[in-house]
């Protein structure tokens, strides 16, 4: 499923092991039915009080003007590679509860869960998702008339993984590099901060 399948210390689901974030994408479009299904997966994510505070703004490469508008909301470095992806998405979260207008402390957490659902569904369909924090949120707010209580948090490039050979050298190196993660002992604690029952 993936040339960069995670080398895990403990067994995990194949889809999680296969997921990674390429910089290279094929030109071929993503079927509308697949896009609908990955957003459906986000729809059914858990959220605090079932608030579902997430929203997604989508642009596809077959609508060039709209695609260019969204591309302009990315940081310059991200624009350089993300322009090859057939789908770009801005991930937005409502920072206030709809029922009472109070601050929703879980809003960003819930957006992250929704995107995680989206990514796993995309992976199951042979698609790759590269998430980006390097965006221009103020520009996105202006272009898309995003209300004051909602924040543009990240962007997503979605498509079929391309060949690293097509990338500039710096990005090619990133695409071909081995995947690394901290061992469990560095972030799973018990009893007190920093103490772990896991080796490594």
Q: How many domains does the chain have?
A: 1
User: Domain containing 89 — which CATH number?
Assistant: 3.40.109.10
* Average pLDDT score over residue span 110-128: 98
**Long-range Cβ contacts of 35-42 (<8 Å, 24+ apart):** 35/87, 35/158, 37/121, 37/125, 38/118, 38/121, 38/122, 38/125, 38/127, 38/158, 39/118, 40/121, 41/117, 41/118, 41/120, 41/121, 42/114, 42/115, 42/117, 42/118, 42/121
Residue 47 confidence class, pLDDT cut points 50, 70, 90: very high
Residue 41 lies in a domain: yes
Residue 190 lies in a domain: no
* Average pLDDT score over residue span 2-14: 88
User: Which residues are registered as beta bridge partners of 60?
Assistant: 87
Residue 169 confidence class, pLDDT cut points 50, 70, 90: confident
Q: Which two tokens stand for residue 9?
A: 């210390």
* Average pLDDT score over residue span 178-194: 95
Domain span at residue 152 reads 14-165
* Average pLDDT score over residue span 81-102: 97
Residue 74 lies in a domain: yes
Residue 186 lies in a domain: no
- Percentage of the chain surpassing pLDDT 70? 98
Residue 189 lies in a domain: no
- Stated pTM of the model: 0.94
pLDDT surpassing 60 at residue 96 = yes
pLDDT value for 1: 47
Residue 182 lies in a domain: no
pLDDT surpassing 60 at residue 59 = yes
Closest C-alpha to 3, from 130, 195, 155, 179: 179
Residue 184 lies in a domain: no
Residue 114 lies in a domain: yes
CA distance from start to end of the chain: 28
């Amino acid at each position: 499923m993936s040339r960069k399948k995670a080398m895990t210390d403990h067994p995990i689901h194949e889809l999680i092991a296969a997921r990674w974030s390429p910089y290279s994408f094929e030109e071929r479009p993503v079927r509308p039915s697949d896009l609908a299904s990955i957003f459906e997966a986000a729809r059914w994510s858990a959220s605090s009080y079932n608030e579902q505070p997430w929203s997604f703004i989508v642009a596809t490469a077959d609508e060039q003007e709209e695609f260019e508008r969204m591309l302009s909301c990315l940081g310059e470095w991200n624009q350089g590679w993300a322009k090859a992806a057939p789908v770009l998405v801005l991930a937005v979260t409502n920072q206030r509860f709809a029922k009472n207008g109070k601050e929703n402390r879980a809003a960003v957490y819930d957006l992250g869960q929704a995107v995680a659902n989206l990514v796993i569904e995309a992976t199951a369909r042979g698609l790759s998702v590269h998430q980006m924090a390097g965006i221009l949120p103020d520009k996105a707010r202006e272009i898309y008339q995003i209300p004051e209580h909602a924040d543009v948090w990240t962007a997503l490039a979605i498509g079929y993984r391309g060949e690293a050979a097509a990338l500039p050298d710096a990005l090619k190196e990133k695409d071909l590099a081995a995947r690394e993660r901290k061992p469990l002992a560095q972030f799973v604690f018990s009893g007190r901060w920093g103490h772990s029952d896991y080796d490594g």
